[in-house]
Structure formats: C-alpha cells, structure tokens
Structure 1
Amino acid sequence: MKQENYIKGMVMIILSAFFFACMNVSVRLAGDLPSIQKSFFRNLVAAIFAAIILGKNHIVPKVQKQYWGALLLRCAFGTLGILCNFYAIDHLLVADASILNKLSPFFAIIFSFLILKEKITPVQGTCVLLAFIGCLFVVKPGFQNAALIPALIGVCGGLGAGIAYTMVRVLGTHGVKGPIIVFYFSAFSCLFVLPYLIFDYTPMTGKQLVTLLMAGLFAAGGQFTITAAYTYAPAGKISIFDYSQIIFATLLGFFLFGEIPDCYSFIGYGLIILASLGMFVYNMKVIKCR
C-alpha cells in the first residue's frame, strides 16, 4: 500500500467520523420519532445526493455480476447496522448505544481477516485494544442497567456495520466507485423501510423534518468519506481513527447542549489519541520499509 493512499484513507475516515457525529446530534435533535422513520430520511438524502453525483459525472451505476453478492451484503448488513444503531439510541443510554456502535471497527478488522485475509499485527491489535479502553473511559457505559434485548440489538448493529465496511473494501478494491456503492446502499435501505412508513407514518413538525434532512446530509458526507477511506486502505490500518467520532461528539455536545466531560473522559481522549498516534507511526514505518 502506498503511503499516499494510507494518508488519504486516514483523512477520509476522520472526516467520516466528524460527519457521523453531526448526524447523531441531528438525530437526537429530531426528537421522539420512530427509529425506522429516522433511518428513512437519513438514507433518502444520501440516495439523492449519490444519484446527483452519478448523473453529473455521467457514471452508469453498473456493477459487474461477480460483485453483486458483495454489494447485496453491503446493502443488507449496512441497513441492519443503521436500524439496530438507531434502535439502541432510542432504547438505551446514549453512552451504551455509542460504545456498542463503536464495535463496528473490531468487526471490520475481524471480517477483513476472515474474508480478505488481511493480517493483524500485534502492534495493530494493541492499538485497537488501547483505543477501545479509551472509548470505555469516555462513554462510561452502564451495562448493568441496560435491557438485554436492546443491548443485543446494539451489538448486532456493530456487527452489521463491520461486515458492511468489509464489503466496501471488497467492492472498492475491484474498481466499484464510491458513489455507486452509496447509491445502491441508500436506495436499498429506503425501499426496505418504505412499507413501514406507508402503514405507520408518524406526523412531523417542520423543524423535525429539516433536522432529519440535515441528518441525511451529514450521513451522505459520512458515507462518501468512509467508502473512500476503506477503498484507499485496509480496515486493519485505518479503522482505529474511527474513534475520533467520540471526540467530535463530545465537542458538539459541549457547544450545543452545554455538556462538560469529566476527568474520565479526558483520560479516554488521551488513550484514543495515543492509540491513533501509535498506529499512524507504526504504519508509516511499515510503508517506508517496503
């Protein structure tokens, strides 16, 4: 892997973390609406955005037949990840839902190893573990208070996202363009939940609609950047930087809701930044030695 591609992948996944943090804040601001309805608007905007890019660049959304399976898995498990994550946010403490969602990089690394045969070195494994410990310090989850079913659904969300991102890596390395992947995934997700909206739609205020549309815009930005990230570099080398979403979410929470982190959170920030720095330095040395 070229050093330039690694840096691009790192930048893209950090940008995706920022966009997804903004999306989560927007979903929270949308108020008391069904998770499925929130997910529909989140994906509708992304689908329209992707379609516009495809049309502007005269790209035909065609995928070779041998990659249909990977695309279907990306769509199906990505949809599962979103629905489960939104359900967890609505039924668990935000901290619990966040830590469960952050399991996705671990699943991405595991499935990249199992499916793509990408090796995980001891240094990479140590950095991921350190970041996960830092994540626990930041969100301080109280699993003893969490209901069993919502917690298991949250884990399924992380599993779904991990498999989906692994499939993004498969598609991207075989020349399937990012906007095509985002378009099919977003359209699939919208169509999947559409019957629910038709038969059990919850009326929304204008403010709620605008907030959900903003969530969709941020989601589109997150989808495009994370798709680009896993196209440029393997999950095992860049997924660690996805933890920057916790820092972005905390900063947004402070400026928008007046939330002030405690000392445990600052310890977590330090561990996450240290793990990210360690991964970056290690990968730079590996790339230069090749």
Structure 2
Amino acid sequence: MKTKKKYMGILYIIISAFCFALMAMFVRLAGDLPSVQKSFFRNLVALIFAFVLLKKDRIGFSGKKENVKYLFIRSLAGTIGILCNFYAVDHLVLSDASMLNKMSPFFAIIFSALILKEKVKIPQALIVIGAFLGSLLIIKPTPAIFSEPASLIGLLGGLGAGVAYTYVRVLGQKGEKGPFIVFVFSSFSCIATLPFLIVDYHPMSIMQIVCLLFAGLAASGGQFSITAAYFHAPAKEISVYDYSQIIFSALLGFIIFGQVPDIYSWIGYIIICTMAVVMFLYNKNKE
C-alpha cells in the first residue's frame, strides 16, 4: 500500500509539472499583453476553483489573528513571484523561465533558516550555492543584462515563490488549510492587479482570452495535482520529480515556438537538476 501511494504521488507530481509547463505555454501564446493583465485572468480562474472547493468541503479561516499577517506576506510574495515569472516567460526561452522559477525550493531553504530559524547544514548550504552558480549560466550576467533584465526578473520570481512556500509551511503549521490559503492568495492577487488592469487595460482577441483561460485551468490543475501528490507521499520521496517541468517546458518551447536553449543554459539545467537530486538524496538519507 505504501509503495502504491508513493507511485501515485510521483504520478500526480509529474501531472502537476506538465500542467505548470502548459500554463507557461498558454501565457506565452496569449501574446503581447502586460504581465499584470495575464496574472489577473490566471488567478481569477484559480480563485473560482478554490471558492468551489471551499464551499464543497466547508473549509474556512481558522480564526487565529496572528495568521492574518502570514496570509498577507504569503499572498504578496506569491503575487510578485507570478508577475516576475510571467514576465520571464514572455521574454526568455520557455525552459529558461521555468528553470529560474524552479530555484524557489533553494530560496525556501534560505528563508526557512531566516524566518523559521531552521538550521541549515553545511551540505545544504553547498547545494544551494551550487544551484545558484547553475542559475548564473542561464542568466549569463553581463553589462547587457541591465538593458534586458528578463533573467534577473525570472530569478526574482523564483525568490518570491520561495518566500511564499516558506509562509505556506508556516500557515500549515498554524492550522490553515491549503484550499483556504490558495483562495486568499488568488483573491489578493486579483485585487492587487485590478487597478493596474483598469488603468492600462489592453483589448484582447478571443484567442488571447481563450489562452489565458486555459492558462488558469492549467495552473489550477497544477495546484490541485501537487496537493494530491503530497497527500499521497512525503516531499522527501517525490519532490525531485517536480523538475520534470523543465523537460516538458523544453519540449513545448521547441514544438510550439521553435526555441532551442543554448549550451550554457543546458549546463545550467544539468547543474540545478543535479543539485536538486543531491538535496533529495541528502534529505532522504537524513530522515
């Protein structure tokens, strides 16, 4: 039974990775629209899904006042992360944008040490440093990067997601349920981006609306799948499979957009994925 649950967890996390790769593809296919506008429609769909789930399972706020500030920080960091990720998706090779966003687990380790006061072991610190060095091969830091900072913004998106995941863990420890956290985040993101949408709304074709709706559906599928994955198996056993998103993104980027990452990006992918596997094995052995 335990082995079956583990394999179900692996299947769900791979489905989640594919859904998030699809989300990035549809965001890119939506064309030349502001990241804020894309984010609003993506989160609007997620908000509807989360609301339906809350009603179905009768989930609500725990009532703990101290959790309000944690919900706010999680929502703010998550919104910044999505906006930066969408900007990177529009301006970088799809697999590059996905890989920079996948730096979030390494940032989560750093912020867990700073916020949750969790001790970071020397091997973990070295792995984080190794992953960051791998990201530099994707970012390719030269003076020109400041004129087209998409890679740095993509890395900032990973940092925002890392902060958000850290506070998701804080909220989980303090009794908040996952669907409620998603609902608050989606609501916050929609409200935060709505004024910018009103001031600088770009008219959309039917195809662009369809692409953004599919992006929202794919994102919702990714969120529910990853929740199901961690319900079936612990993170230490399955988290490494989340990096299959890079493979899906590279394939979709090549098939749909004709994108081919350069050799430095591929070396960066290999280094970051290797660091993820090493971290996975280290945590499993530690447990």
Interval containing the TM-score (normalised by the shorter chain): 0.7 to 0.9
1:175 alignment partner in structure 2: 175
Structure 2 residues without counterparts, runs of 5 or longer: none
Q: Secondary structure at the match of 1:117?
A: coil
Alignment of structure 1 residues 151-230 onto 2, 5 Å: 153-225=153-225
**Residue of structure 1 equivalent to 2:23:** 23
CA contact (8 A) 1:9 1:229 kept: yes
- Aligned partner letter, 1:116: L
1:241 shift after superposition: 5.8
Work out the CA distance in 2 between the residues paired with 1:11 and 1:122. Answer: 32
Cα distance in structure 2, aligned partners of 1:278 and 1:135:
16
Within 5 Å, give how 1:217-256 maps onto structure 2.
Answer: 217-225=217-225, 243-256=243-256
Q: Distance in 1 between matches of 2:64 and 2:139?
A: 45
Cα RMSD for the two superposed structures: 3.7
Where 2:202 maps in the other structure, the secondary structure is coil
Whole-Å Cα distance in 1 between the matches of residues 129 and 9 of structure 2? 21
Aligned to 2:146: 147
Q: Is the 8 A contact 2:21 2:249 kept in 1?
A: yes
The residue aligned with 1:54 is 54
Q: In the alignment, what sits opposite 2:85?
A: 85
Q: Call closer, same or farther: CA 1:135–1:150 in 2, change over 3 Å.
A: closer
Alignment-derived partner of residue 276 in structure 1? 276
User: Are the counterparts in 1 of residues 79 and 189 from structure 2 also a CA contact under 8 Å?
Assistant: yes
TM-score, with length taken from structure 1: 0.79
Structure 2: distance between partners of 1:17 and 1:273: 14
Structure 1 pair 9–278 and aligned structure 2 pair: CA distance change class (3 A): farther
Amino acid at match of 1:82: I
1:89-168 counterparts in 2 under 5 A?
Answer: 89-90=89-90, 100-137=100-137, 139=138, 141=140, 143-147=142-146, 150=149, 153-168=153-168
Distance 1:99 1:28, change over 3 A: same
Residue 144 of structure 2 aligns with an amino acid whose one-letter code is N
Give, in whole Å, the separation in 2 of the partners of 1:246 and 1:64.
38
Distance 1:120 1:229 in 2: 26
Distance, in Å, in 2 between the alignment partners of 1:260 and 1:100 is: 16
- Aligned residues between the structures: 284
Runs of at least 5 residues in structure 1 that lack an aligned partner in the other structure: none
The alignment's TM-score, normalised by the length of structure 2, stands at: 0.80
Look up the equivalent residue of 1:214 and give its one-letter code.
F
